[in-house]
């Protein structure tokens, strides 16, 4: 097992090397205001045989959990994904389905919508790819909103921590503070990589990082993001320490192209639903000021990537009309994949939901920039939800991500910090870099919709009432047909 811990200091001026101290096999730090990435690389040989066997069924498996709590990013940890649990995978066998659902239910919790009763391959949906993109990666996608890793931590503690080991439980407990957590496995590699990302705790990190027994290497980096003249590179300076090998932090500096870039302006967005939501909610992306919405580069196009649970769907056919699109400040529905049935109620949809990629309009260079916020809207529709003991069902909709997709001159593949397989990169193919618009700081990155449902507390009479009225109507009409009513005029005339 290898560990790599990287701190990215938020404010380079506040950091001095004196805050670090290396002793024997440990590194102590005090009050370092930084975001932290903790990465475990575990060789397959180190895994229990059962787990190894489970993993081998997959060709690739990327599990990405993102917290709904807002967090700040510091390059190179700039990537964003919709809060919730994402799984991107492809498997060797065609039984992915049952593996997927049993894996998810046993590790993350039984409440995830993933039905093993459904036919194979129906829960997951195909991931969209640009034609020229490499298809070696995951082919399928699954998503569910999951507000915390509570279930995951409890299940894993149960599975791997020896009864006696308190530290094992405590270590896992720290995951609950993560802003995102990735598990990446590929059959072409001999290891599985776990990555957890943490925002700075109040007051910064004051820690004593020890090299535990059984860990081969543990590398700790404390870096600051440095400006550099090349817009396609990000540069870092700071200190690297190999615990147990180095006696003092080693100064380092490097620069690299990357896949995910921060935005230089202070632009951010909020997500909301126009009220009342009814059965046709309209999602609104709001950018505080229209004038900040100028493309960072001439090649850049603004996009939003939506990950919609099955109860919410987009009618792709609405978005073929240019007037309709422009009235919502959209350019195009670039891609849509998953449960797009326009009629079915939620309970007959086996898939987790659907994902969509929109290109968003922004104020053009020729037209006047409107004052105030720039609002983009995306009309959606709700499926019927099961009747229940309430008049409304409350369902979560996690915020979509917003980014500029720009042409990249250089291949950002060499960057050891890049996060990949987030569900939208494949749609763009190679030679594209992403400049992320961060969500506004503040509330949770999830909206809640109250969906009107049939309230079964009141419907005791529906069955009897309906059947009664229909039967009465039928009998009444039979009576009119055969017995009642006026006597036939014709008959009377004939008799006369």
Partner 1 sequence: MALSTFFGSPRAVFSAAILLRAIFLVYGLLQDAYSPMKYTDIDYFVFTDAARFIAQGQSPYDRDTYRYTPLLAWLIYPTTWPGFWFSFGKILFAIGDIVAGWMMFRILRSYQSMSQERALKYASIWLLNPMVATISTRGSSEGLLGIFVTALLWAVLANRIALAGFLLGFAVHFKIYPFIYAASIVWWLDDDQIKGRRANKSATSASLFNQILSFLSRERLALALCSFITFMALNVIMYFAYGWPFLEHSYFYHLIRIDHRHNFSPYNTLLYLNSSPKINANIHAQPSLELERLAFLPQLLLSAVLIPFVLSKKDLPSTMLAQTFAFVAFNKVCTSQYFLWYMMFLPYYLPESTLLQSPSVGITSLILWILGQVFWLQQGFQLEFSGDSTFFPGLWTASILFFVVNVGILAIIIRDVKSKDPSTPQKLAAKKKA
Q: List residues near partner 1 by CB under 8 A.
A: 276-280, 317, 320-321, 323-324, 326-328, 340-343, 345, 347, 384, 386-389, 391-392, 450-460, 462-463, 465-467, 469-471, 473-474, 476-478, 480-482, 485-490, 493-494
By beta-carbon proximity to partner 1, the closer residue of 49 and 489 is 489
- Which residue(s) pair with 29 in the sheet? 20, 207
- SS (HEC) of 386-404: CCECCCEEEEEEECCEEEE
Q: Which is nearer to partner 1, 254 or 324 (CB)?
A: 324
CB of 128 to partner 1, least distance (A): 17
Nearer to partner 1, 156 or 384 (CB): 384
**Min. distance of Cβ 306 from partner 1 in angstroms?**
19
- Residue located via tokens 């007037």: 323
At its nearest, how many Å lie between partner 1 and the CB of residue 86?
26
Rounded to whole angstroms, the Cα distance separating 108 from 130 reads 31
Q: How far is the CB of 392 from partner 1 (least distance, A)?
A: 6
Question: To the nearest whole angstrom, how small is the minimum distance from the Cβ of residue 356 to partner 1?
Answer: 15
Distance of alpha carbon 2 from its chain centroid, rounded?
27
Q: How far apart are the first and last CA of the chain?
A: 108
CA 428/CA 130 separation, integer angstroms: 6
Nearer to partner 1, 208 or 321 (CB): 321
Q: Which residues contact 24 (CB under 8 A, 6 or more apart)?
A: 244
In the complex with partner 1, which residue's Cβ is closer, 31 or 471? 471
Q: Write down the least CB distance from residue 366 to partner 1, Å.
A: 22
For residues 256 and 68, is the Cβ–Cβ distance under 8 A?
no
Distance CA 374, CA 363 (A): 9
Q: How far is the CB of 477 from partner 1 (least distance, A)?
A: 6
| Bond into 142 cis (ω within 30) | no
| Whether the Cβ atoms of residue 234 and residue 225 lie closer than 8 Å to each other | yes
Q: What is the distance between the alpha carbons of residues 85 and 457, in angstroms, rounded to a whole number?
A: 34
C-beta closer to partner 1: residue 26 or 118: 118
Closer Cβ to partner 1, 254 or 474, answer by number: 474
Sign of CA dihedral 24, 25, 30, 35: positive
Q: Is the dihedral of CA 91, 94, 99, 104 positive or negative?
A: positive
Contact 177, 121 (CB under 8 A): no
Give whichever of 48 and 468 is closer to partner 1, judged by the CB atom: 468
Helix 150-160 × helix 96-107 angle, to 10°: 90
Residue 274 CB, nearest distance to partner 1 (Å)? Answer: 11
Closer residue to partner 1 (CB): 302 or 451: 451
Residue among 81, 256, 318, 90 at smallest CA distance from 182: 81
Please report how close the Cβ of residue 286 comes to partner 1 at its closest, in angstroms: 20
Q: What angle do CA 83, 89, 95 make, to 5 degrees?
A: 125
CA 128 – CA 306 distance, rounded (Å)? 13
């Amino acid at each position: 097992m290898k560990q790599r811990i990287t701190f990215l200091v938020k404010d380079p001026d506040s950091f001095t090397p004196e805050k670090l101290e290396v002793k024997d096999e440990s590194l102590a730090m005090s009050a370092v205001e930084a975001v932290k990435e903790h990465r475990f690389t575990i060789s397959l040989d180190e895994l229990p045989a059962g787990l190894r066997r489970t993993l081998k069924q997959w060709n690739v498996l990327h599990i990405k959990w993102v917290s709904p709590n807002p967090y700040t990013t510091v390059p190179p940890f700039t990537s964003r994904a919709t809060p919730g649990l994402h799984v991107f995978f492809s498997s060797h066998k065609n039984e992915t389905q049952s593996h997927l659902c049993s894996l998810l239910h046993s590790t993350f919790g039984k409440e995830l919508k993933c039905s093993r009763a459904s036919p194979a391959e129906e829960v997951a949906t195909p991931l969209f790819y640009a034609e020229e993109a490499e298809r070696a990666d995951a082919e399928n996608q699954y998503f569910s909103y999951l507000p915390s890793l509570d279930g995951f931590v409890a299940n894993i503690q149960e599975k791997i921590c020896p009864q006696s080991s308190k530290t094992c439980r405590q270590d896992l407990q720290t995951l609950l503070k993560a802003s995102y957590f990735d598990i990446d496995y590929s059959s072409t590699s001999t290891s599985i990589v776990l990555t957890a990302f943490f925002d700075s705790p109040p007051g910064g990190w004051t820690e004593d990082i020890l090299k535990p027994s059984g860990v081969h290497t543990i590398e700790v980096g404390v870096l600051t993001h440095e400006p550099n003249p090349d817009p396609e590179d990000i540069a870092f300076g700071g200190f690297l320490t190999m615990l147990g090998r180095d006696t003092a932090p080693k100064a380092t500096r490097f620069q690299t192209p990357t896949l995910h870039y921060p935005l230089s302006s202070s632009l951010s967005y909020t997500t909301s639903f126009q009220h009342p939501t009814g059965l046709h909610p309209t999602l609104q992306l709001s950018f505080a000021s229209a004038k900040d919405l100028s493309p960072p580069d001439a090649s850049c196009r603004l996009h939003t990537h939506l990950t919609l649970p099955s109860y919410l769907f987009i009618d792709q056919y609405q978005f073929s009309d240019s007037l309709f699109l422009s009235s919502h400040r959209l350019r195009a529905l670039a891609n849509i994949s998953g449960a797009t049935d326009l009629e079915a109620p939620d309970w007959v949809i086996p898939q987790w939901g659907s994902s969509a990629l929109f290109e968003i309009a922004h104020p053009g260079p020729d037209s006047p920039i409107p004052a105030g916020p720039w609002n983009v809207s995306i009309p959606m529709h709700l499926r019927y939800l099961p009747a229940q003991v309430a008049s409304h069902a409350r369902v979560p909709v996690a915020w979509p991500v917003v980014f500029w997709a720009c042409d990249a001159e250089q291949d950002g593949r060499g960057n050891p910090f890049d996060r990949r397989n987030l569900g939208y990169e494949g749609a763009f193919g190679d030679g594209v870099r992403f400049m992320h618009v961060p969500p506004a700081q503040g509330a949770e990155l999830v909206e809640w919709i109250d969906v009107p449902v049939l309230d079964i507390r009141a419907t005791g009479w529906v069955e009897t009432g309906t059947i009664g009225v229909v039967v009465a109507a039928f009998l009444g009409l039979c009576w009119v047909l055969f017995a009642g009513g006026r006597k036939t005029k014709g008959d009377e005339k004939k008799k006369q």
